[in-house]
Structure 1
């Protein structure tokens, strides 16, 4: 038990001696750095655009309708001459759209190529319209 206190005292003494032997270091001032640049005279305008982008090109068809988007319009004359009765039957004529039956008769899984969605009980990030009104799938 006495040796424990002796070791603790020796450790404290060694730390005190080590701290006293550290030479003091004075703070030195850092040299001034001169960049040598001038401030621009004009502020950037609010009409500036990203480099390499021309706003006039946004009106071209390739920018208005990106090639990765598919829009399928089914006209009434097509429907009158074809015996289609469900949305599933109609959308079979749309490229990249497929359907599969889920576990129940009401469970229909819609898969659209490129969308990354294969969800039952509704579709996320996909809009389907009937006469301009959105359809809940």
Structure 2
């Protein structure tokens, strides 16, 4: 259940997009339900990304071992963690969330250097950290875009 991010990884086509979208929507609705101050939102998003990552490493390791696949496509907890990283300190509106989501998906799918190298890490660490890398790159680009537009 955790590896598939509550079943979103079982949706087709593009389970990674569904997992990323689910995490983005959870973030967006939580932001608007609780209306935290900007610093509180930044801290909460960072903590959420860390928690999902720390839970995701062993969860994805178990699923990868049981399925016999290095990075099963239905494991999308990594996408959830990565998109949460991309949402750190982003303005809490749908436009900024959408830009972060789209940038994350673009970098996660294309895996530019050095993100692709992170896939070589063992088991759940490699499964999770390439998406964290994509999230960090999306975070950087999203903040640059927000600064100039």
Give the TM bin, normalised by the shorter chain: under 0.3
- TM-score, structure 2 as length reference: 0.20
Structure with more of its chain in helix, by fraction: 2
Higher relative contact order (CA 8 A, sep 6+): 2
- TM-score, structure 1 as length reference: 0.22
